[in-house]
Structure 1
Amino acid sequence: MTRIAVNGTTLGTESFGPEDAPPVLLVGGTTMLSWPDALCERLAAGGRRVVRYDLRDSGASATGDPDAPDYTLRTLAADAAALAEALGGGPAHLAGIGVGGMVAQVAALDHPDAFTALTLAGTRPVAPGPTDPDLPDHDPATMGRLFSRPMPDWADRAAVAEYAAAGAEILGDDPAAARTRAGRVWDRTPDRTPPVQLANQLGTVFARLDCAPRWRERLPALALPTLVVHGRHDRFFPVGNAEALARELPDARLLVLDTAATALPTSGTDVATIAEAMLTLR
């Protein structure tokens, strides 16, 4: 674990693989633990320097006021470009998951010289909030179950982990993996106050973040080779979002994981499949 000062902030990072290998930069969604250890290790074994990092207001990165962030989506995109430069080794393969995938799209559009390739996992080509008519929205029944639950006691690690496990079951993800990840996120959260815990566990800062202007209409001009990864059973961002995203990009490959839902798999053949597909990009 290393904290790196870039773009007027400090970002928590973790590296896998040799420092002189071609870099792969993994944008947290919102914490770096959205990227499974097994995938990071596979990419490193394939000859890459893998660096995953926490977005602002999460994990080991700088924490301000998650209820009133003093930065925008464009700031987070600039963070990614500045971090790629700080790492050295030339332009990086940039990968983002969920809201991190939105950061990655804008970063690649605004700072194309900083990156050689793009991986977008479990995301869509528009900001959080109202969606475009051709993009399938969150599954209403699933969202009703997910957000009607009472919040846990954020000072109770076990309660937070169980809350995450129950949410994963609703989404069709692995409850055991979600329980473990939530515990690790809780351990890395800088304090136990509800706004900071919510920003770490649920990424709620994005509900308050200025994500304007739209970027979807700019995607056809993005020349980077791109891998779009999505779970076929994703109920949060249904797979039609990935299909639309891949259509917008001129050099995109769509990889649909037939047994996955919202979260990236933490083990099994899907991890190898994702790693192999990412390694074929520059």
Structure 2
Amino acid sequence: MAERMVEIDGVELCTESFGDPADRPVLLVMGAGASMLWWEEGFCRLLAEGGRFVVRYDHRDTGRSVCHPPGRPGYTGADLVEDAARVLDARGIAAAHVVGVSAGGAFAQLLALTHPDRVRSLVLISTSPAVPGDRELPPPTEEFTRFLPAAPCDRSDLDAVIEHQVAYACLLAGGRRPFDRAAARRLIRRDLERARDIAAARNHDSLPDGGPAPAPLSSITAPTLVIHGSADPVFPLRHGEALAEQIPGARLLTLPDAGHGVERADWPTIVTAVLAHTGATRTDRAGDRPQAETRPSAPGSRRPPAGRRR
């Protein structure tokens, strides 16, 4: 395990891997405004111990990846989708099992639509259809909506930013289970201290999406597992249900009383489900290695509600 800076198409991204490169590759795509640390190391190690080669990475403007001036990102949501393919290129992986959470789940859906040959299977956690369907979906909870404008204006006050994000993490957890504030505070402090510019992550809140989606979700051919908490305050459970209905053959795993994200209490359930899902699909290990190809530009994603780990 070691962080590795890669540069593809002039974009510098920080990546990290766990496990044996000869094992089936799993690419983890985090939500907007959040670095790869939110795929916690213990979770990654559990997947690796199950025989998967796990790769996580920092989005632009998070962690140690390329950083843009706050308010002037100069890229779109489409570029974040394309970055997932760039990470695979940099790691020498032709196709991977792609696991996305929140907005990372939307990026994963769009990757499967724009580069279907790069996606062996999909696992979509705490997310919503990236391509709007014909049914209206419920909005975030009122408590979540009220909380968003309360972010500290002075991002130089690290302690104030940490306490705000701890409160936000508590809100995302859904309120039906005990919440470990001390563990959340440690993770958030490490995340912020590691970042090139903690203010730059807010660039994700106002990115243009880059254009219309290329096709309906019914065009996705990758085997898909949808995992959704019953207490998700950002995307209520109906979002996960709708996603499973729109993608052919998708299965839905509901996590009782779970909120938004990958909570430690659910690691055993999620890891078991991911290992089963990625093991059930046909994967030629030799076929996962790189092949020369030309990748077209990806269209953008529908933006989820603003906020961390979306």
Q: TM-score, normalized by length of structure 1?
A: 0.87
Describe the SS at the equivalent of 1:211.
coil
8 A contact 2:113–2:215 mirrored in 1: no
Aligned match of 1:225 in 223, 228, 242? 223
Q: Separation in 1 of the partners of 2:213 and 2:255?
A: 26
Q: Separation in 1 of the partners of 2:54 and 2:235?
A: 26
> How big is the shift at 1:277?
1.1
Deviation string 1:19-56 (CA, Å, 9 cap, x unpaired) is 22221111122311221222211110011110111111
Deviation string 1:164-223 (CA, Å, 9 cap, x unpaired) is 12222333353334322211211111135xx32xx1xxxx32332121434395210100
Please name the residue that 1:17 is paired with. Answer: 19
Please name the residue that 2:162 is paired with. Answer: 161
8 A contact 1:95–1:119 mirrored in 2: yes
Please name the residue that 1:262 is paired with. Answer: 260
Aligned residue type for 1:188:
R
Written as runs of structure 1 = structure 2, the 5 A alignment for 1:133-212 is 134-144=136-146, 146-149=147-150, 151=152, 153-172=154-173, 174=179, 175-191=181-197, 195-196=199-200, 199=201, 204-212=202-210
Higher relative contact order structure (alpha carbons within 8 Å, sequence separation ≥ 6): 2
Aligned match of 2:248 in 236, 247, 250? 250
Please name the residue that 2:65 is paired with. Answer: 61
Please name the residue that 1:115 is paired with. Answer: 119
Q: Separation in 1 of the partners of 2:211 and 2:148?
A: 28
> How big is the shift at 1:123?
1.2
Q: Separation in 2 of the partners of 1:111 and 1:217?
A: 12
Q: Separation in 2 of the partners of 1:216 and 1:141?
A: 34
Please name the residue that 1:103 is paired with. Answer: 107
Distance verdict in 2 for CA 1:216–1:261, change over 3 Å: farther
Describe the SS at the equivalent of 1:167.
helix
Please name the residue that 2:83 is paired with. Answer: 79
> How big is the shift at 1:110?
0.5
Deviation string 1:241-280 (CA, Å, 9 cap, x unpaired) is 11111111013111111131012112x3x21111111112
Describe the SS at the equivalent of 2:13.
strand
Q: Separation in 2 of the partners of 1:185 and 1:221?
A: 37
> How big is the shift at 1:133?
5.2
Distance verdict in 2 for CA 1:90–1:126, change over 3 Å: closer
> How big is the shift at 1:148?
4.7
Q: Separation in 1 of the partners of 2:120 and 2:70?
A: 32
Identity of aligned residues (%): 39
Describe the SS at the equivalent of 2:160.
helix
Deviation string 1:84-120 (CA, Å, 9 cap, x unpaired) is 1321244111111111111111111101111201111
> How big is the shift at 1:16?
0.8
Please name the residue that 2:269 is paired with. Answer: 273
Q: Separation in 2 of the partners of 1:126 and 1:228?
A: 13
Structure 1 runs (4+) deviating above 4 angstroms are 130-133
Count of paired positions: 269
Aligned residue type for 1:277:
A
Q: Separation in 1 of the partners of 2:196 and 2:154?
A: 16
Q: TM-score, normalized by length of structure 2?
A: 0.80
